[in-house]
Amino acid sequence: MEQTRRQSHTSASGTHLSHADSVSSLGSSRHHNYLPSNQACPLPSSISYEAPEHQFDMSPSHNPILTDVERLESVIRDNIKNSATLPISASRVPWKPSYLDRRKLAVFPLLFVGFIVAIQVLIRVSHDNDGLVTSNRRLHYLWTFGPMAALTLVAAFWTRVEFQLKSVAPWAHMVEGQSFERTLLLDYLAMLQPISIFRAFKYRDWDVASASLCSLVLRVTTILSTALFVLTATEVRNTPVPVPILSRFVDNTTELDGLATGVGSLPYYSMLGLSERNMSFPDGASELYAFQQFVATDIPDALLSITVEGFTSSLTCQPAALNTSYGHCDSQNATELCWALETSQCQYPIHPPRPDEATDGSISPFYGTMDLSRCNGSQKASDVVLYMMFGKLKLSDGKSASKLNSFSQSSQIICRASYTIDTVDIISNHTGVVSISKSKTGPSRKITKLSEGKMLELYLESFATKTIATLWAESSMRTGDDGEPETMQLTPMFVNIASFAGLINPPVSRLLNDSFLEEILNSYYRQNAVFIARSVFSTRTSQSITGKLDLKKERLIVSAATGHALTSGLALALVLSILVIFKKVEIPHLPKSPNSVVGIIQLLADSKDVLNLLAGAGPVSLSTLKNRLREFHCRSTNEKLSSDSGSPVDHFRISLEPNEKVAELHYLDAPSNKMKTSLALSPVSLTAVHLVIVGIIVSLEVIVRISGPNSDFVDVSDFKYIHLAWTILPALVLSLVSMYFAAVDMEIRSLTPFSKLSKGTSLSQMARLDLLDGSTARLLWREYRADCLAALAPTACLLTSSFFTIFVGSLYSVVTLSTSTSVQLQTNSSFVISSPDVGESKGNDLGNLPDFSSITTTLILQNNLSYPSFTYEDLAFPVFSVANILGHFTLSSSDTVNATIPALRSKMSCTRYSSHEIDMEVTSGRIPFVPVNHQAERDILAINIDGEQHQSSTIPSGLTHNVELPLNDRPGNNWVFGIGESCNGDDGTIWCTSDFLYVWGRKTNSTDQSRNHVAALTCNETVEAVDVATTFFGPELRIDPSANGSVPTCTCQKA
């Protein structure tokens, strides 16, 4: 008796791996470590399948070798054969898989449609709004885990559908009466997913194939979802922002004070700056429009769009005929209008040319001028025109200007002005205006009481600046394309127009062309009118309007490529889920669930034919078992039996149907001592996966250490799909690891009941032990309650690994970090420390200084002009260029170059003198530069300063006081004065030993001298070389004062 118990225990222990497959495959056997035996298992030589049931009796007396399932069945029969009247396979309520209900299955297509619509809406919103929302890196987990969590949850529920379809597929085939290979030996759950899909297509299990394919698609979409949202620096368009407006154009000329004399010199200076130094436009001016000034954005790389008013004016010209006999010309009367320009409508009187003779009496053969005229001498402002004329002089005696009677060749045009204040759209950045154009929707207007003729008068007035020292200019021109150089006399206005047009010795033939004259005149007038409007018609204001800002922000972008890929995957999942609903096989009426050992036993308990045929087949190989069963089909039936209560119940039974008459059954081979381990649990697989996991852990630790404190791992490009490398690929690798853990978990949960059986367990525990059909949380609870730690560990591992795909999406992220590299700067120019040659310049002729510095200074101080390149405030730098950049880098416009470079700056050392240090009196003095024999006295205000030399040593008949202010007309009894000049000047007003002298005060004729006041300031200028820490921007090395921290800082170290 002791020997019998030991033999049974050995059998149970040796077969627990085999019967795990028996549960999940409904009787199949993959593993063959069975009870050792040296005998084949004899079976009847022939079986009549029409015989009564007692021929397949499964009692222990008829079966010398029993499997664990057969022994458990015997125990069940012995315990209940006297306590029930119904067969074991009878049930009042049939088992139904809960997830295969059509109403529940219909939820999945609705979810997939919802996901598809949501993704497409997100793509459209992201495209239209430059991203979904402005976010930051701290919220990275939110947009990474959100889509994955949703898809993972749906995939988890769909896994239950797939499981139940696979588990009922063999039983569904059994209803139709199919072979054992498609019924009891069919185990979709034990197959790898690709194999199960192939087998499902082979057996035409469309629902199983569709469900398995849908699971794979959901895995792929879950991985793809890690790259759906990307946080990147994106140009956000049309963000409303308030913009302060600093100026406006007047509505009426009555708002202007002194319109006739209010032009000033700024338009002239500005035009000179554009033509001579290619200077940038000041605020409120562009090539075509003078516009309202506003506060520009100070955000780098941002574009501000704003709609304001813009003033523009242009000329409409036509050729005119020259009439030299319009009136009698008196050579002694320079103001006489005796010539005229004629059109079909009007005559426009003009002055005849008055060319100057050279010292040798010669006259330049060519002459050019421009001026205003009126139609038939009308005084109406609307009749004012601007004319321009160029021609070759025709002299009656060939040389005398007084004998001028006509032009031998000439070209002349008359032009009318027009102006408008348009609504303009301006795009600007933090450095200036990028573009300006007329708005398509805004209105246009004019200034009340401002006529077009007045615009021409203001235009001509803008030339009346003190910087013009001469009334005529000579220029060297060519008489033809290959002709000899000729000289010509041009009015300064004509010269400025030619200079602005960039004309350098053009052929005279071009100047004799009406269209060419119109082109250069209109170009100069249009630009000059911009500066006139900015100076005259613009007034200060304080208001705010709404602009639109295009700037780069960290925006959450929906990747269109990933979104469309997800949509395609979900559309495929939608189709497959619908196929599952319509192709789902009819669920057989099973009295019990086929997913537990007890459930299988109960299903087979009353199927004597099957049990007799499988008797003793536990230890045999799978191939031998298939050979024995291939001659048969099995069919399940449900019979109605009466219960004790009288109500009918279903009795489940499986019957055998031979393919043809079977004469003899195949003998079973001897059991083998070798156990064939599954692929998932093989030592090779386990070792390989453990090595992969260790490699992932080591790689993560290395990456964290390489990233360092700045969390930067590697440089990536701006390639559109490069982010897939750090989102999808890690998720794919860890998804494969998770799939392996799922296979291990399924294997171990399948084997767990047989492990419990081999160790001995109670019948009640076996009856409720179902570790296959259930959600992960429920399975964990069952395993814990059943004390199945071997199954609990892999299930918990599967649950943990399911989070790999979710968390790996936040492992890598793109961060924009500043990097530095060495740059070599090359000096393209340096300084020559010497005084400029100003011998040819006159006192107030600022534009004639050789270095153009005075005109530049004037425009910076009065016209808000930007500093020229390589200058800032009082610093002047040598001109540098980028010679070489170490490494594979290229400078962009937003890159910075930090360098300490030499610079020059002017330093003024000044001394102030109070009244008690200054002598002031009205007296008589000589006129400087006048010889003694022609000397005359004049009244002057004489000022002497203590410490300054009084007597001029360089001016002939020079000053005897520091300041001699001429008093041509007595100013009265009480007057103020002020003067400031360079002491190196030769205007005969100031003399001092310092570089500059400034004197101001009040003078009265009262005997009370306390009412008189005078003060003075003398300054000496020095130039020092210093080292300056400077931040340059872009490859052109520009200085941007608007950028924070980019203002050059002097180290005050003399170079």
Which residues on adjacent β-strands are paired with residue 910? 1019
DSSP per residue, 809-870: TTT-----------EEEEE------S----TT--TT-GGGSTT-HHHHHHHHHHH-PPPPTT
Per-residue pLDDT, averaged over 656-683, amounts to 66
pLDDT digits (tens, 9 = 90+) for 114-164: 999 999 999 999 888 878 888 776 776 677 778 888 898 899 899 889 988
Q: Is a pLDDT exceeding 90 seen at residue 800?
A: no
For residue 674, the model assigns a pLDDT of 59
Neighbours of 574 (CB within 10 A): 20
In this structure, of 230-244, 429-443, 948-962, the range with the lowest mean pLDDT score is: 948-962
State the Cα–Cα distance between residues 22 and 29, nearest whole angstrom.
6
Locate 422 and state its tokens.
């348009």
Which residue did the predictor score with more confidence, 231 or 714? 231
Read out DSSP for 545-556?
Answer: EEEEEEEEEEEE
In the structure encoding, which two tokens stand for residue 779, read together?
Answer: 């399975």
pLDDT of amino acid 71: 52
Question: 478: helix, coil or strand?
Answer: strand
Taking Cα atoms as reference points, which of 934, 924, 979 lies closest to residue 957?
934
Q: Check: CB of residue 716 under 8 Å from CB of residue 722.
A: yes
Q: What residue segments make up the domains of the chain, in order of their start?
A: 96-228+559-589, 269-546
Encoded tokens for 141: 């987990």
Find out whether 108 and 215 touch, Cβ atoms under 8 Å.
Answer: no
Tell me the two tokens of residue 282: 């000041």
- Average pLDDT estimate for 854-870: 75
For the purposes of burial, counting CB atoms within 10 Å of the CB of 242, is it exposed (0-12), middle (13-18) or buried (19 or more)?
Answer: exposed
Mean pLDDT score, 1008-1026: 85
Task: Reply yes or no on whether the pLDDT at 842 is more than 50.
Answer: no
Output the DSSP codes for 455-466.
HHHHHHHTT--T
Question: What pLDDT score was predicted for residue 396?
Answer: 61
Share of the chain above pLDDT 70, in %: 71
* Identity of the residue numbered 420: T
What proportions of the chain, in percent to the nearest 5, are helix, strand and coil? 35, 25, 35
Cα–Cα distance, 540 to 294 (Å, whole number):
11
Look up residue 614 and give its two tokens.
Answer: 């499988």
Query: CA-CA distance, 527 to 290, in Å (whole number)?
Result: 9
**Cβ contact 354:363 at 8 Å:** no
> Which percentage of the chain shows pLDDT scores above 90?
18
Which value, to the nearest 10 degrees, does the dihedral of the CA atoms of residues 1019, 1020, 1021, 1027 take? -100
Helices (H), 708-809: 724-759, 763-767, 776-785, 789-801, 804-808
Q: How far apart are CA 961 and CA 929, in angstroms?
A: 15
Mean pLDDT over each residue of the chain, to the nearest integer: 76
Q: pLDDT of 150-179, one tens digit each?
A: 898 899 899 889 988 998 888 888 888 888
Listed residue (41, 1054, 100, 9) closest to 577, CA to CA: 100
What gap in Å lies between CA 572 and CA 322, rounded to an integer? Answer: 85
| 27-36, 45-54, 693-702: which is most confident | 693-702
Strands 339-342 and 321-323: antiparallel
Collapsing DSSP to helix, strand or coil, 98 comes out as helix
Alpha carbons 882 and 9: distance in angstroms, whole number: 88
**Per-residue pLDDT tens for 913-963?**
988 888 888 887 776 655 555 556 777 888 888 877 766 555 545 567 788
Tokens 């102006």 sit on residue: 419
Whether the pLDDT of residue 845 is over 50: the answer is no
Q: Do residues 526 and 314 make contact, with C-beta atoms less than 8 angstroms apart?
A: yes
Q: How much is the pTM?
A: 0.59
Structure tokens at 182: 């498609």
Q: How far apart are CA 990 and CA 845, in angstroms?
A: 18
Integer Cα distance of 665 and 1031 in angstroms? 96
The answer, yes or no, to whether residue 591 has pLDDT greater than 90, is no
Q: What is the DSSP string of 111-165?
A: HHHHHHHHHHHHHHHHHHTTSS-B--GGGHHHHHHHHHHHHHHHHHHHHHHHHHH
- Segment of 242-246, 746-750, 1047-1051 carrying the highest mean pLDDT: 242-246
pLDDT beyond 90 at 395: no
When mean pLDDT is compared across 338-347, 497-506, 913-922, the lowest value belongs to 497-506
